[in-house]
Structure 1
């Protein structure tokens, strides 16, 4: 994770937090139960099923995601 991202401070966060995924086509949110949350400073990658979502770590510890980056973790990291 750190090698691919080039971020020596990247960490795995506890998945025991609120995660929301914005729905562009609707005015609501999905609330997945993530298996993994990776943090790269304020940006995060959240794994839900076989999909990686990109988002941001909010001040209260929750994560707001805005898009799916597919199932390939290395590609999602490169998209940061």
Structure 2
């Protein structure tokens, strides 16, 4: 499991900012994709951090935070980038 959160961030800070006392880092050993806008297709992401908030997740790939939802098989389907700032992405939850 990767704990490479942005500078100044700990899992405790993530929990505090999100208001989710059970927020956790997830294993990177899963398929992570983002929907292509206007298409019925996906792009595969290679995240370096995945945070879970009761089924909703934030995955950081290429310095951007993507929001998505865990599927029953453990894969993560993201729908959009919420920018490069973790605090802003958490506010989007």
TM-score range, shorter chain: over 0.9
Given the two structures, how large is their TM-score scaled by the length of structure 1?
0.96
Number of residue pairs matched by the alignment? 80
| Greater strand fraction, Structure 1 or Structure 2 | 1
**Distance apart, 1:24 and its partner CA:** 1.1
Structure of greater Rg? 2
**Distance apart, 1:16 and its partner CA:** 1.2
Given the two structures, how large is their TM-score scaled by the length of structure 2?
0.83
Residue of 6, 9, 24 corresponding to 1:11: 24
Structure 2: gaps (5+ residues): 1-13
Residue of 22, 36, 47 corresponding to 1:34: 47
How do 1:1-80 and structure 2 match up within 5 A? 1-80=14-93
Structure 1: gaps (5+ residues): none
